[in-house]
């Protein structure tokens, strides 16, 4: 089978792009007209959910074309940042509200921890499972240029362990975390994506790559801005629709914030990554999830005390530089950081196998189901109360910690290589196969 050169795709395929753009309009109209999701949660879920999915398609196409202009590394970083904008909107709102309403202080990081646990526990495995379903491949091989993702995710995870130790998140934590993200982006700026084959593009991107550079750049910028605006406009009402439906079912508020709100705010990212994986871009899809984890552990966590402090000052409380953590939130941070450490350790060799994916997914499902049962009081008959959740999370964090330690020891030479790559750069050598991996790795665990 022969492939036609890029830019020779059927111009009619652009109609898919126009349909996706049009599908975002009803949500924007509802947003402007003041429709309240609580009045009709199912209507809100349908219309705002359609907007999120359509915007995800637009982002996927724009990112594939953007690779030609800025390289795969920066394209993935930007894609990951745009797709988690709803997460930022929710967390900054909660942190700002906590600045003048103490009742919200225990929720300021709940959405972030839930989103991060969902991202690794379900998101990463989904990529491996879709790859296996699509082609029977046993895992995903990341390019060596992704070494910076491993190193800076590891650094942010290690620093995050200090937060529950000192019992607060402060303005100076934000400075450190923001600096980490800056160096992370700098480490990816030289990643040109390796041997990116334009002829493999299909649909709208295949037509767009044939445009002249000026027109292509204008359209890519426009698509990113439009999709980001649609996602931001839909994120809050989409979350409210989901939460309203949950409250109608008498679901616990903390569980709504920790799981249902993150599920809604992470939806654009999940859709984008699944679309990329189905299109044979599993390496880019998993890279987007990893990059998202980096920006959430740095920019998002750092943004919480900044929003909290500014809110305090605006509402007349003076300068309050730290947000205190409850025992419940400390346990959540321990759990989130320990899970992140284990995830970093599994990809230190740049291989993410199906076996590793199933292990992470299994651990997450156990944690999720038990937490859900405890939080809703369904285990009260066994003498397990909701307040026992802290002990359970600390114990589960310890389990993740033991698993992470074993992986770090086993992968120590790979970790040293990742550090070397970040410090000295990746040498220009013949490209190796990346993406779907069809043979198991001896380091699988």
- How is residue 252 annotated by DSSP? -
Q: Which residue has the higher pLDDT, 357 or 441?
A: 357
**Model confidence at 3: pLDDT above 60:** no
**Model confidence at 72: pLDDT above 80:** no
pLDDT tens figures, 396-405: 999 999 999 9
CATH classification of the domain holding 153: 1.20.1420.30
**Model confidence at 125: pLDDT above 80:** yes
**Model confidence at 251: pLDDT above 80:** no
> Among 115-129, 139-153, 154-168, 205-219, where is mean pLDDT lowest?
205-219
Q: How many whole angstroms from its chain centre is CA 373?
A: 25
pLDDT tens figures, 73-98: 777 887 788 777 777 877 887 888 88
Rounded to an integer, the average pLDDT of 119-132 is 93
**Model confidence at 6: pLDDT above 60:** no
Q: Is residue 168 part of a domain?
A: yes
Other residues' Cβ atoms within 10 Å of the Cβ of residue 299 = 19
Q: Which of 269, 433, 266, 277 is nearest to 357 (CA)?
A: 277
**What pLDDT sits at residue 440?**
42
Q: Give 353's contacts (C-beta < 8 A, 6+ positions apart).
A: 128, 138, 139, 437, 440, 441, 444
Q: Is residue 305 part of a domain?
A: yes
pLDDT tens figures, 62-71: 877 887 777 7
Q: Is residue 443 part of a domain?
A: no
How would residue 443 be classed by pLDDT, with cut points 50, 70 and 90? very low
Treating both helix axes as pointing N-terminal to C-terminal, what angle do 282-295 and 41-83 enclose, rounded to 10 degrees? 90
**What pLDDT sits at residue 189?**
74
Q: Is residue 328 part of a domain?
A: yes
Residue with tokens 């082609």: 135
pLDDT tens figures, 265-297: 677 788 878 888 888 888 888 988 999 899 999
Please report, rounded to a whole number, the percentage of residues in the chain having pLDDT higher than 90. Answer: 36
Compute the mean pLDDT over every residue in the chain, rounded to the nearest whole number. 83
How would residue 428 be classed by pLDDT, with cut points 50, 70 and 90? low
**What pLDDT sits at residue 76?**
82
Rounded to an integer, the average pLDDT of 49-72 is 80
**Model confidence at 227: pLDDT above 60:** yes
Please state, in angstroms and rounded to a whole number, the distance separating the CA atoms of residues 398 and 403. Answer: 9
**What pLDDT sits at residue 162?**
94
Q: Which residue has the higher pLDDT, 65 or 304?
A: 304
Q: Is residue 6 part of a domain?
A: no
3-state secondary structure of 435: strand
pLDDT tens figures, 339-363: 999 999 999 999 999 999 999 999 9
First and final CA of the chain: distance in angstroms? Answer: 38
Q: Is residue 4 part of a domain?
A: no
Q: Which residue has the higher pLDDT, 250 or 232?
A: 232
> Among 85-99, 126-140, 148-162, where is mean pLDDT lowest?
85-99
How would residue 386 be classed by pLDDT, with cut points 50, 70 and 90? low
How would residue 1 be classed by pLDDT, with cut points 50, 70 and 90? very low
**Model confidence at 195: pLDDT above 50:** no
**Model confidence at 298: pLDDT above 80:** yes
Q: Is residue 174 part of a domain?
A: yes
**The total number of structural domains that make up the chain:** 1
Rounded to an integer, the average pLDDT of 28-39 is 84
**What pLDDT sits at residue 349?**
94
**What pLDDT sits at residue 256?**
64
Please state, in angstroms and rounded to a whole number, the distance separating the CA atoms of residues 93 and 105. Answer: 11
pLDDT tens figures, 7-20: 555 677 788 889 99
Q: Is residue 445 part of a domain?
A: no
Half-sphere exposure (Cβ direction) of 145: Cα atoms closer than 13 Å? 25
User: Is 265 in contact with 239 (CB distance < 8 Å)?
Assistant: yes
pLDDT tens figures, 315-337: 888 888 899 998 888 999 999 99
Sequence-ordered alpha helix ranges (H) in 296-411: 301-314, 327-346, 354-375, 389-410
> Among 171-175, 259-263, 366-370, where is mean pLDDT lowest?
259-263
Please state, in angstroms and rounded to a whole number, the distance separating the CA atoms of residues 243 and 41. Answer: 8
Residue 21 lies in domain = 12-437
């Amino acid at each position: 089978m022969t492939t036609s050169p890029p830019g020779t795709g059927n111009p009619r395929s652009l109609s898919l792009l126009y349909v996706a753009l049009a599908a975002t309009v009803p949500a924007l109209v509802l947003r402007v007209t003041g429709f309240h999701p609580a009045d009709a949660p199912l209507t809100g879920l349908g219309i705002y959910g359609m907007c999120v999915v359509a915007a995800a398609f637009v982002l996927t196409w724009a990112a594939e074309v953007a690779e030609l202009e800025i390289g795969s590394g920066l394209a993935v970083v930007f894609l990951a940042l745009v797709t988690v904008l709803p997460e930022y909107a929710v967390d900054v709102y909660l942190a700002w509200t906590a600045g003048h309403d103490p009742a919200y202080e225990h929720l300021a990081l709940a959405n972030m921890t839930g989103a991060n646990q969902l991202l690794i526990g379900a998101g990463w495995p989904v990529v491996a499972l879709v790859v296996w379903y699509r082609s029977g491949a046993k895992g995903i091989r990341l390019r060596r240029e992704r070494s910076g993702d491993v190193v800076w995710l590891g650094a942010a995870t290690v620093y995050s362990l200090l937060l529950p130790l000192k019992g607060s998140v402060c303005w100076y934590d934000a400075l450190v975390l923001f600096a980490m993200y800056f160096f992370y982006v700098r480490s990816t700026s030289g990643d040109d994506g390796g041997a990116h084959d334009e002829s493999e593009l299909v649909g709208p991107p295949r037509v767009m790559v044939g445009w002249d550079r000026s027109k292509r750049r204008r359209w890519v910028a426009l698509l990113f801005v439009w999709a980001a605006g649609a996602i931001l406009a839909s994120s809050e009402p989409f979350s409210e629709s989901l939460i309203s439906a949950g409250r109608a079912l008498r679901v616990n508020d903390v569980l709504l914030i920790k799981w249902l709100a993150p599920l809604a705010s992470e939806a654009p990212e999940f859709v984008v990554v699944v679309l990329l994986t189905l299109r044979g871009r599993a390496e880019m899809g998993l890279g987007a999830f990893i990059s998202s984890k980096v920006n959430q552990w740095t920019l998002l966590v750092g943004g919480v005390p900044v929003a909290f402090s500014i809110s305090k000052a605006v509402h007349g409380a003076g300068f309050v530089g730290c947000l205190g953590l409850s025992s419940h939130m400390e346990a959540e941070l321990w759990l989130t950081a320990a899970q992140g450490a284990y995830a970093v350790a599994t990809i230190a060799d740049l291989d993410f196998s199906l076996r590793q994916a199933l292990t992470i997914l299994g651990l997450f499902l156990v944690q999720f189901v038990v937490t859900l049962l405890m939080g809703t009081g369904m285990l009260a008959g066994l003498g397990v109360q909701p307040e026992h959740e802290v002990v359970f999370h600390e114990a589960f964090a310890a389990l993740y910690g033991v698993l992470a330690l074993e992986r770090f020891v086993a992968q120590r030479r790979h970790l040293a290589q990742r550090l070397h790559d970040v410090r000295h750069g990746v040498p220009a050598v013949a490209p190796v196969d990346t993406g779907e991996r069809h043979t198991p790795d001896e380091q699988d665990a």
